[in-house]
Amino acid sequence: MASYFDDKTILITGAASGIGRRFAETVASRGVRKLVLWDRNPDVLDEVAAGIGDKCQVITHGVDVSSIESVTTHAEKLKSEGVVPDLILSCAGIVVGKMFHEHSAEEIQRTLDINTTGSMWVVHAFLEEMIERGSGHIVNLASASGYIGNPRMSVYAASKWAVIGWSESLRLEMGKLNTGISITSVVPSYIKTGMFEGVKAPFLVPLLETDQIVELMIKGISKKKSKIQAPFMVRFVPFIKSLLPERAFDWVAGNVLGVYRSMESFEGRERDKEKE
């Protein structure tokens, strides 16, 4: 049976860990021709490439998506070699996990640069070539926090609200221009990648296993879905917010579902703490 990923070139950011890494490892055996893996930790990318072996061609670059110079330099290098991705998957992301007033200016800027602006820069670097070719697929990793605010996630939530708004607008633009380019937003709740180590899963919204969300992504991308939302309860959040008065929704989210307490025991990933 033919796979949607057959003979495709896929660029993945944040490919050294979490969803990005697992997605790369999974699709490598599903007919992909070439994987381009970008991350700020190139040594770990070498390990990922070694694990993939000869399943497909793997290109690794140490790219910091928060740096326009880094993104542009490596994008131009790929294009000079005739490499324009068929699919771009933006997984690079960080979370600080503090009350807003506790953030430093650097932490605010870094979160927005990596989670939002970096994704835009990566897509922008290849979009004209995709439009000229008449095909492509852009997949942006958002978050359920882009639907609902949460204490200790103000900057992270802002970055993911922006990703959702940008993705929806980009989808409409690409459709209006008949470019043949699909846009998919992935909107998960907490995932067991280490990035949200210590969080407490809200009621009815269990922590997702990495393999679980990756398989959902593979299925949804193959069907060119505009949104992939998980777990099931996530897709109802915008609807419930539209029905309930603000105070009523806050009471349900905070006291019934426990969403607003979920970050109280947050620890995060050690390597991210070291870089803050």
**Rounded-to-integer distance, Cα 220 and Cα 120, Å:** 21
**Rounded-to-integer distance, Cα 218 and Cα 23, Å:** 8
CA 128 to chain centre: 22
The torsion of the CA quartet 150, 153, 154, 156, rounded to 10 degrees, works out to: -130
DSSP single-letter state for residue 146: G
Active-site annotation holds for 156: yes
Q: 82 Cβ partners below 8 Å, 6+ apart?
A: none
Amino acid at 47: E
Amino acid at 134: G
- Given the residues 4, 147, 156, 190, the one annotated as active site: 156
Task: For residue 178, count other CB atoms closer than 10 A to its CB.
Answer: 9
Q: Which pairs with CB-CB distance under 8 Å and at least 24 residues apart come from 273-276? A: 276/96, 276/107
DSSP states along 202-266: PTT-PPBPHHHHHHHHHHHHHTT-SEEEESGGGGGHHHHHHHS-HHHHHHIIIIIS-GGGTTTT-
**Rounded-to-integer distance, Cα 182 and Cα 55, Å:** 26
Catalytic residues: 156
